């Protein structure tokens, strides 16, 4: 496709060099802007854990040139769920259809491998746009929304045309945007996770655990029971197995820290009711990290003036849908598209376009992540039967109630089939009929998704980005809510005007 109109590049500051930050850097450099990333750490102690790279995220990453072979990604092929105490399976799934159905693969990736590949794409000398510049050991202590600046712990202040906060759940950007603190808080149940890795060769060498490595290419396993959940899947070309052990603790931790170490004995005690073969696996865990699970309800805005928040900074979610990283990548794709051809003069409208595409979708995923946690931890189909109604009630603030997924298959389709590229491009073309996606924004054409969008419709009079209304959420927040009726009435008004102008109506 031809490029957009020529424009001077924006100077963009990105706070945080994690998955969201580097993905945003890729997107913004390919949109023609100059990117500087400020990261508080030295990036020399990356977390040893794995992550789902779901089709709704991989379609954009692959189009940008991500190399899943170089990154040692594993394609998900199969899954099963079993009772943790007996190993008896109650569900088995064949997931080889995912790529064909949803247009992109479902990968398992070591976080370090994904992170390195994103960093490569953001900072490489070749490729579209100017390489992003990374500043390490540069902690941001304050955001100034009007000035477009960040203050560093060194005392330095850095200015840009736009600041993108991608610094995680404890970001200071939300307070700067909303005007008051809105911290993420511990959940009331299933509020902790242990994370660790075990090499495949160690499991294969033990007669008691070798069974879990046989015919295991691309298989994700779930073991549940006794208020515990163990999620287990391979990464790094099946050479390493990743574990997430989710449970409840009476301990209350208000600070998410992926580097908190716990002894293997604590893991074994927590899962003592599980089958001896599983305990034999857990005994091999050598570097167990404790991860407090924190949640914050959807907020009313992600941007103010020259500041916008993305990823966990904007919408932290629980791991039960496996969508946290994917939603950050969707944010990055949408933001880069919205900023293509952007100037300081139209920045605010472009950020509103970005919000119109992303806020409903990410807010719904937040709700699914908090409301699905109980049902995901049980094999009893009747357990937690009030949860579907709670999901519908909460999600209906952000999507038509009749379209809220009801079955596991519908949730799967909603999560995996979404096409953020299509929705973002269409939203931009409604905002500016002359706008076109730059020819080199992607290295290859992304494969289309299959699921309908939830983006807010542009007002037919062109006076606002979205035809929305504000609804009191009942918890002190106010959320933009799009209703199917709004869309219907907008279309009716537009048709009425056309007919009247043609003198079909008196």
Residues with a known catalytic role: 195, 233
Q: Are 437 and 1 in contact (CB under 8 A)?
A: yes
Give the helix ranges, DSSP H, for 172-244: 173-178, 200-204
Residue 80's CB is within 10 A of a number of other CB atoms, namely 14
Query: Residue 262 burial (CB < 10 Å; 0-12/13-18/19+)?
Result: middle
**Tokens for 471?**
């609804």
**Tokens for 328?**
């950050």
Q: Which of 295, 302, 421, 428 is nearest to 360 (CA)?
A: 302
Q: Which of 272, 215, 284 is nearest to 84 (CA)?
A: 272
Instruction: To the nearest 10°, report the CA torsion of 166, 54, 322, 200.
Output: -110
Region at 155 (left for phi over 0; alpha for psi -120 to 50; beta for the rest):
left
Query: Residue 284 burial (CB < 10 Å; 0-12/13-18/19+)?
Result: middle
CA pair distance 218, 96, nearest whole angstrom? 10
Q: Are 415 and 54 in contact (CB under 8 A)?
A: yes
Rounded to 5 degrees, what are φ and ψ at 134? -110, 130
Strand order in the sheet with 133-135: 133-135, 34-38, 11-15, 162-165, 307-309, 303-304
């Amino acid at each position: 496709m031809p490029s957009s109109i020529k424009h001077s590049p924006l100077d963009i500051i990105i706070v945080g060099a994690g998955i969201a930050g580097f993905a945003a850097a890729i997107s913004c450099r390919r949109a023609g802007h100059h990117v500087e990333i400020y990261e508080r750490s030295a990036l020399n102690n990356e977390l040893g854990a794995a992550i789902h790279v779901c089709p709704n995220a991989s379609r954009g990453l692959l189009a940008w040139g991500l190399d899943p072979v170089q990154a040692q990604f594993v394609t998900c092929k199969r899954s099963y769920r079993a009772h943790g105490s007996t190993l008896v399976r109650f569900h088995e799934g064949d997931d080889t259809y995912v790529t064909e159905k949803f247009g992109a693969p479902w990968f398992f990736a070591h976080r370090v491998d994904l992170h390195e590949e994103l960093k490569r794409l953001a900072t490489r000398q070749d490729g579209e746009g100017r390489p992003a510049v990374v500043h390490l050991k540069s902690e941001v202590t304050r955001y100034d929304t009007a000035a477009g600046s960040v203050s560093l712990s060194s005392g330095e202040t850095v200015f840009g045309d736009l600041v993108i906060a991608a610094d995680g759940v404890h970001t200071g950007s939300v307070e700067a945007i909303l005007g008051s603190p809105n911290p993420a808080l511990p959940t009331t149940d299933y509020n902790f996770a242990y994370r660790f890795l075990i090499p495949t060769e160690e499991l294969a060498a033990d007669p008691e655990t070798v069974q879990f490595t046989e015919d295991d290419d691309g298989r994700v396993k779930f073991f549940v029971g006794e208020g515990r959940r163990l999620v287990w899947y391979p990464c790094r070309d099946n050479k390493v197995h990743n574990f997430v052990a989710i449970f409840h603790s009476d301990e209350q931790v208000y600070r998410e820290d992926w580097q908190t170490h716990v002894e293997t004995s604590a893991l074994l005690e927590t899962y003592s009711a599980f089958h001896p073969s599983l305990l034999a696996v857990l005994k091999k865990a050598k570097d167990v990290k404790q991860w407090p699970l924190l949640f914050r309800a959807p907020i009313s805005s992600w941007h103010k003036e020259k500041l916008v928040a993305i990823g966990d900074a904007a919408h932290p979610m629980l791991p039960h849908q496996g969508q946290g990283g994917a939603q950050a990548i969707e944010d990055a794709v949408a933001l880069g598209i919205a900023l293509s051809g952007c100037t300081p003069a139209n920045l605010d409208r472009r950020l509103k376009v970005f919000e119109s595409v992303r806020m409903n979708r990410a807010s719904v995923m937040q709700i699914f992540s908090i409301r699905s946690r109980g049902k995901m931890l049980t094999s009893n189909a009747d357990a937690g039967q009030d949860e579907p109604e709670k999901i519908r009630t909460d999600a209906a603030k952000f999507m038509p109630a009749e379209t809220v997924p009801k079955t596991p298959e519908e949730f799967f389709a909603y999560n995996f089939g979404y096409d953020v590229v299509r929705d973002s491009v269409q939203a931009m073309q409604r905002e500016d009929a002359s706008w076109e996606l730059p020819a080199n924004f992607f290295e290859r054409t992304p494969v289309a998704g299959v699921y309908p969008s939830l983006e807010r419709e542009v007002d037919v009079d062109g006076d606002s980005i979205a035809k929305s209304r504000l609804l009191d959420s009942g918890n002190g927040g106010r959320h933009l809510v799009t209703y199917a009726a709004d869309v219907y009435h907008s279309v009716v008004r537009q048709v009425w005007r056309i007919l009247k102008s043609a003198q079909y109506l008196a």
